Amino acid sequence: MYLRKDVPKKNDYVIITIEEIGDFSVKVKLDEFERFYGVIPIDELSSKRITNVREVVKEGRKAIGVVLDVDPINRLSIISLKRVDKNKAKGKILEYKREIQAYNIIKIISEKENIDIKELEDEIVYKIIPQEKLYTAFLNLYLHGEEALSKYKIKKKYINLLLKYVKEYLNPQKYKIRYRLLIYSLDPDGIIKIKEFLKEIEKFGFKIKYLAAADYLLEYVSYNPKDIQSAKKNLEKFMEAAKSKNLIYEINEEK
């Protein structure tokens, strides 16, 4: 895995390795950053009363912490474990796994094309980060082609290699939500109102499939799980407008 040369920011979630347990603090290494360390004060280990620190942390174990403060000159940070939000921690784990997946493509290129890994890091990786996550840049390349990398000023020969191997090895996961919508109107122009209403839903990125009279299947697909949550909120908010259009409906998410 590549090592970032910049520094974390306050409130960032970071992957850490426990290195040394003391009487008043725990020393850790920030796995994603080059020669960057952290200190966890004892009172930031847990919200519960601690009788034995080693019941909470052990040398060599990995954990997710949140950055409370940063000293960029000495490459040192104050870390908390007790302030970690579980949902944000899950997001951090997913992000980290994706960065490993993206970096593995760099390793594959190195092995198959006989190019030194340090050369690929300098010519590709460190031109992308910290502007963007490596996985995000590769996903944009996968979806939109070589123009997606134009802002990073990567040489053409490396873009061509990336395009070849990203298409073959990235295999991004698709996220999907589906809704069953029953909708009708008693107005004389009800059919027209429904068609216009459905066209507006399509603008949010939903694909609509006609199943039967007044019965529709709505589907939204994305490579980004955050898009799914946004799509849900947009749809829920928009469906409230159906009442003002005198439309009667029932909508249920399909699992």
pLDDT of residue 106: 98
pLDDT tens-digit series, residues 45-91: 998 888 788 888 999 999 999 999 999 999 999 999 999 999 999 99
Residue 116 has pLDDT above 90, yes or no: yes
Give domain status of residue 4, yes or no: no
Q: Which of 184, 229, 182, 173 is nearest to 204 (CA)?
A: 229
* CATH number of the domain that residue 198 is part of: 3.30.70.1130
Residue 47 backbone dihedrals phi, psi, to 5 degrees: -80, -10
**34: CATH:** 2.40.50.140
Count of CB atoms situated within 10 Å of the CB of 208: 15
Whether residue 155 sits in one domain with residue 107:
yes
Question: Per the structure, how many domains does the chain have?
Answer: 3
The pair of three-digit structure tokens given for residue 180, joined into one six-digit string? 């069953």
Question: Within a domain: residue 6?
Answer: no
Residue-number span of the structural domain to which 216 is assigned: 175-254
| CATH code for the domain in which residue 91 is found | 1.10.150.190
Question: What is the mean predicted confidence (pLDDT) over 236-251?
Answer: 88
Residue 54: per-residue pLDDT: 84
* 65 and 52 share one domain: yes
Q: From the centroid of its chain, how far is CA 216?
A: 31
Residue that is last in its domain, among 84, 104, 132: 84
Examine the domain organization and report whether 28 and 99 are in the same domain: no
Residue 3 lies in a domain: no
The answer to whether the CB of 13 falls within 8 A of the CB of 84 is yes
* pTM across the whole model: 0.79
| Average pLDDT of the residues of the chain | 94
For residue 99, count CB atoms less than 10 angstroms from its CB and return exposed for 0-12, middle for 13-18, buried for 19 or more: buried
Q: Note whether residue 124 is domain-resident.
A: yes
| pLDDT value of position 55 | 81
pLDDT at 255: 81
pLDDT tens string 117-126? 999 999 999 9
* CA separation for the pair 135, 229 (Å, rounded): 20
DSSP 149: G
Q: Judge if 99 and 64 occupy the same domain.
A: no
- Which pLDDT does position 200 carry in this prediction? 92
Say if residue 23's pLDDT is above 90.
no
Which of 121-125, 192-196, 230-234: highest mean pLDDT?
A: 121-125
Cβ-based neighbour number of residue 237 at 10 Å: 10
pLDDT of residue 49: 84
CA-closest candidate to residue 62, choices 83, 42, 79, 77: 79
DSSP 213: T
What are the Cα distances from residue 53, in Å, to 56, 85, 86, 161? 5, 21, 21, 49
Q: Tell me the per-residue pLDDT of 131-178, one tens digit each, with 9 for 90 and over.
A: 999 999 999 999 999 999 999 999 999 999 999 999 999 999 899 999
